[in-house]
Amino acid sequence: MRNKIAALCAGLLLMAGLGSCNDGETYAEQKEKERNAIAAFLGRDAVVMESETDTLIHIGKINVISESQFYQQDSTTNVEKNEYVLFNSTGVYMQIISKGPGEKLKPGETKRVYCRFTEYNIMADSLQITNNSFFWDPRPDIIEASNTSGTISGSFVTGPTGWGAMYTAYSDKSVPAGWLVPFTYINIGRQVSTEQPIAKVRLIVPHSQGQKDASSRVYPCFYEISYQEE
């Protein structure tokens, strides 16, 4: 637990430091640095470390596929080939590890969704936040997600049971746009058997689709997120 709290504190200090590093750079220069960081991340055998000796997530070298190939594959990504689909309109990369039980969020429907996640700052090559810990277990991040004529929106639930790690870190109820991309392709339900795990994805989210600190400081994040109906 102490490691997780320390990681959160270190991440927030790191974000404060990144602000000074960006001083004097133009927005165009910051975006170019972000593009270069993502390109390098795709090609290297990336690992998210929980500590100096403990691996949290082995990301590996990423095989990018087009949207057309993704749809030809019934909106799936081959995990064995470490495929991620690039959505050109947003710049978000997505790998679907599991589509999950249940059904997709229907038009006109709203659901509360538990999220467990890890956030990794690609630019700083550092674990930023994770709520996969005993400390955050009683306070998961909860999204109230709605489908309005095919457009997904969402906000973080705050209060005694929903004051999660994302709101604690950023004091923002808005769900990053990148987090909402998977809702079009995954099912939102509860796990009923070990053979059908809950929905789980990996994302590369550019600053324009990210949380407010990433948006203001222009850095991309990698996420591993699971989604489960409340």
> 189 in helix, strand or coil?
coil
How confident is the model at residue 129, as a pLDDT? 95
d(CA 30, CA 193): 46
How confident is the model at residue 6, as a pLDDT? 44
> 3 in helix, strand or coil?
helix
Going by pLDDT thresholds of 50, 70 and 90, the confidence category of residue 219 is very high
pLDDT > 90: what percent of the chain?
Answer: 78
**Encoded tokens for 191:** 């796990």
**Worst-scoring range by mean pLDDT, 1-5, 114-118, 191-195?**
1-5
Which residues have C-beta within 8 Å of that of residue 86, sequence separation ≥ 6? 64, 65, 66, 67, 92, 93
Per-residue pLDDT tens over the stretch 15-55: 444 444 456 899 999 999 999 999 999 999 999 988 888 89
Say if strands 141-148 and 151-156 run parallel, antiparallel, or are unpaired.
Answer: antiparallel
How confident is the model at residue 17, as a pLDDT? 45
How confident is the model at residue 70, as a pLDDT? 98
d(CA 176, CA 127): 18
Rounded to the nearest integer, the mean pLDDT of the chain is 90
